[in-house]
Amino acid sequence: MVEAVRKSLRESAGARWAAMAVVSFTMLCGYFVADVASPLKPLIEQQLHWNSAEYGLYTSAYGWFNVFLGMLVIGGIILDKKGPRFAGVLAMLLMLGGAALNWYAMTPAFQSDQELLGTKLPVLAAAVGYAFFGVGLELCGITATKVIAKWFKGYEMALAMGLQVAVARIGTGLALGTSGTLGKAVNVSTPVLLGVLLLGLGLVAFLVYCTMDRKLAASEPETKGKASDEEAFRISDIGRILSNKGFWYIAILCALFYSAVFPFLKYATDLMVQKYHVSEDTAGLIPAMLPFGTMLLTPVFGRIYDKKGRGATIMIIGSALIMLVHVMLTIPAFDHWLVAVAGMLILGVGFSLVPSAMWPSVPKLIPERQLGTAYALIFFLQNLIALMGTPFLVGWVLDRYCITGRDTISETVNGVVQKTEIVHYDYTLPMTIFVGFGLLAIVFAFLLKAEDKKKNYGLENPIQVAKKEAASA
């Protein structure tokens, strides 16, 4: 057994980090598509003539199949049953197909006023494509997380997960920083097409990882091709996961925390235009500061967790910073663009703190054989509240309560006069909603810390202790 352990490919630092880099690139491609429409809201309203409620419906569609059809939980079970190779390839194909439909539905040639199920056909088609994409990206996310937990068990797990998140958010940063300019230079569907091409590269990258995973299995002959009764996943394990109070605290914290971040990013570019009077051409650059900031900070905080521990405390501090930022952005008198820049910088710190501790903490609560399903259940709640419910709620609130005026701009294109309606919004009420999510996240972070103290999960302990103990044994 000692000889087998020594031959394990995960013992090679180069192999571990190469596996992390490959799956991280696939997530980068996915995150680009997930956020590519965020800076495009004003252009979507102008070029495609969608309103805020339709935009909110489209962005909320990300979680439709994951929530209503339970695809996320099914995906987690597939991951635990079939392994990361099968699950990852399936995820990439779903992302690629969904993004392609999303792109086609947003092309100018496809636009019409024809309705289906009470919704404009282009809006519904784009939403369905985004929903299929959402199934793929969430499955890819839990696959990538389990891959890193598998390769880095007893090693630099929090650092690796932090770096994976950081690399993935390069995709978010690129989307926020470039899609607005590209959409205005060509048309609103062009950035989505770029995302489709990136996903093709992501599929190729994951096929490379599949080869690495086969080599890992071959290097561990005592586990290759079989699983003991203790290791095999059973459907009854879902009940064991759901009976864990600590699991519920971390799952609810995840949903609340991301409700204060991801839906905010969907509307952040429009907020920069409406409240801080930033040009539409450059408004996406301010929200883009957030993911690029987390690229540096998330691995740093992950390394602190690896070495020093304090995972629950890190989550409390991060949640508090998130709420503080939204309070700053809610106050109507704070309307200078420098306030927005400062808010994004602080938000980046909070956005780095919580994930750097939250995702590596799950293996401390849940056995490895159940990790795929556990992450899927957490992502399910995240999809229900943060990625589906909140974007739709904010879009509905904006249209119903926050319109402050409308302007019509006329311009001549190729001798034809075209009129574009510009809608003005007051974002105070939507930002107050985000403040509420931040406050609730703090509450559940404290509950998680109390449960950890009671059950001794070790969330406040360093992650690499297990490696040192194993070495001494």
Sequence letter at residue 246: G
CATH number for the domain whose boundaries are 10-214+244-472: 1.20.1250.20
Where are the chain's structural domains? 10-214+244-472
CB 418 within 8 A of CB 412: yes
pLDDT digits (tens, 9 = 90+) for 94-146: 999 999 999 999 998 888 888 888 889 999 999 999 999 999 999 999 899 88
What pLDDT is recorded for position 231?
54
What pLDDT is recorded for position 243?
92
What pLDDT is recorded for position 19?
92
pLDDT digits (tens, 9 = 90+) for 217-248: 888 765 544 444 345 667 778 888 999 999 99
Determine if the pTM surpasses 0.85. Answer: no
What pLDDT is recorded for position 439?
96
What pLDDT is recorded for position 236?
79
* Mean residue pLDDT across the chain: 86
Residue 97 exposure: Cα atoms within 13 Å on the Cβ side: 11
What pLDDT is recorded for position 5?
43
Intervals of the chain under pLDDT 50? 1-5, 224-230, 466-473
